[in-house]
A and B are shown apart, each in its own frame.
Chain A
């Protein structure tokens, strides 16, 4: 198993209700989630805006500390590890961010952006590794000298992917990575990601609110609603016979040009 997650709770201080004096009340965002990510799985995490998808992702990468429950990564309990303990492991779980404009430091060239994490983990022969990573995401190696603002949205997201895979992690979390792109670059980036996952034998958690994308990419799906898992299962099974009322609602909202609903009824 890559991830074993049991009864995961996470609450954050609610800044919208901060009182003038005294402690800020906390708002519970994840309310007891349990699921596994098997090795080599592509897990889709679906849910409406504000359902806690990004918070779950950040907890899995331990950018946030859970307030209850347990997260095991490859059998190791990382729930309450501190930053020093995590540092040695971080190479193994990586993330691709939603907005590449914000996740790529505007003052670094593409080469430096990809080389940074490699250098931190003591990888040698950096320029060759950077070129290799650019090559794998289908960008010319001359792009190493460019700044992020000189690239298109799709190219930027490829740099984000290159940065994540360059470390050769076991697991990658992709948080709404195509929601900011136009339709044709969306398809290209998704195909690239699918190919890389297969080639490198990665496990992937793919966060999205777009069910048609999830169906194409993911073997398993997890439906999140208001911080709780309402349904989890094999993608084909879940799409054909959804059990939870919320899942049915979501599926009904998919636009019609869709092989499953077209002939049904």
Chain B
């Protein structure tokens, strides 16, 4: 007696392939940047300023995506920029997720006074305008990789806390939780063994979304020169510099912008795709 419902394997899906593929490529580029980057990303050559990408007239051989106004290779700078973007995405995304999801889970599952304290805290926190908050924070901490990461965690943990709290609360009302109590499971054990697996797909979707957001925040902060020193290439810094010369050399702006866009899009699509994959009810 077998029916087919349990055996249908859904294809991984184009969106998971494309987003996963792009991010894998990016991760490889970030790790191998010193090996694969055609030029030193910091090397300036004022005689080779604003060279167009390879298919255009006047392109300089070896500079595939052209050069910026200081003669630095755009492709190499994008590859090196991926390092900072991905480090920020992974570290800030994970820390934000762990902090926010833990608080949300406890608050939504235990209710009572832990919920009152955490929820009040979230409300007060969200009363601050986030970007102002970030700029203020970095002004105090001083620019740098660590400051960006701390800023992202401090601003965005509330997103996880709120969403996971609501989800944990609705899962907590399900009879399988009462059933765990009937079986003699502790509250804490129930939270980890019964509730957490049910909110995990949402956590994963939020996490990848947060990684995308972290990439944007890092870019914005570099854009306003609050990120790490302007020496090491960042996508935000490149966009900021490219903006000033967009009429003479559009490629300095457009290539990092496309990379940023694809990366953020991939993170959010990866989250949605994984959420569907994880769900045995949908699978």
| Interface residues in chain A, defined as those with a beta carbon under 8 Å from any beta carbon in chain B | 58, 61, 63, 83, 86-88, 90-91, 94-95, 97-99, 102-108, 116-117, 120-121, 140, 142, 145-147, 149-150, 163, 167
Contact = CB atoms under 8 A, between A and B. Distances in A.
B175 A87 contact: no
Contacts of A63: 178, 181-182
A142 B1 CA distance: 9
Interface string B271-283: 0000000001100
Given A91-B184, A103-B174, 8 more contacts: A87-B184, A103-B175, A105-B194, A105-B198, A146-B6, A149-B281, A163-B179, A163-B183
Q: Is the interface of B mostly helix, strand, loop or mixed?
A: helix
B7 to A, nearest CB: 9
Given A147-B6, A147-B280, A117 B176 contact: no
A103 B183 contact: no
A64 B250 CA distance: 68
B39 interface: no
Contact of A120 (B3, B6, B183, B280): B183
Contacts of B193: 116
Interface in B5-45: 5-6
B11 to A, nearest CB: 20
A90 B178 contact: no
B243 interface: no
Contacts, number: 74
Contact of B183 (A58, A90, A102, A108): A90
Bin the interface of chain B by size: 20 to 34
Contacts of A149: 280-281
Contact of B174 (A88, A95, A102, A140): A102
Interface string B185-199: 111000001100110
B2 interface: yes
B185 A94 contact: no
B275 to A, nearest CB: 13
Contacts of A140: 1
Given A147-B6, A149-B281, A107 B198 contact: yes
A146 B184 CA distance: 24
A142 B2 contact: yes
Contacts of B281: 106, 147, 149
Residue of B182, B183, B184, B186 most packed against chain A (CB within 10 A): B182
B182 A94 contact: yes
A117 B2 CA distance: 27
21 contacts: A61-B182, A83-B186, A83-B187, A91-B184, A94-B182, A97-B175, A98-B175, A99-B175, A103-B178, A105-B198, A107-B280, A116-B193, A120-B185, A121-B184, A142-B1, A146-B6, A150-B3, A150-B6, A163-B179, A163-B183, A167-B183
Given A103-B176, A150-B6, A163-B179, A90 B197 contact: no
A167 B183 CA distance: 9
A94 B280 CA distance: 28
A90 B181 CA distance: 9
B278 to A, nearest CB: 9
A87 B190 CA distance: 13
Contacts of B183: 90, 116-117, 120-121, 163, 167
A264 B182 CA distance: 45
A183 B249 CA distance: 75
Nearest to A175: B175
Contact of A90 (B1, B3, B182, B187): B182
A88 B183 CA distance: 10
B2 to A, nearest CB: 7
A80 to B, nearest CB: 17
A158 to B, nearest CB: 13
Nearest to A84: B186
B5 A150 contact: yes
Contacts of B175: 97-99, 102-103
Nearest to A86: B184
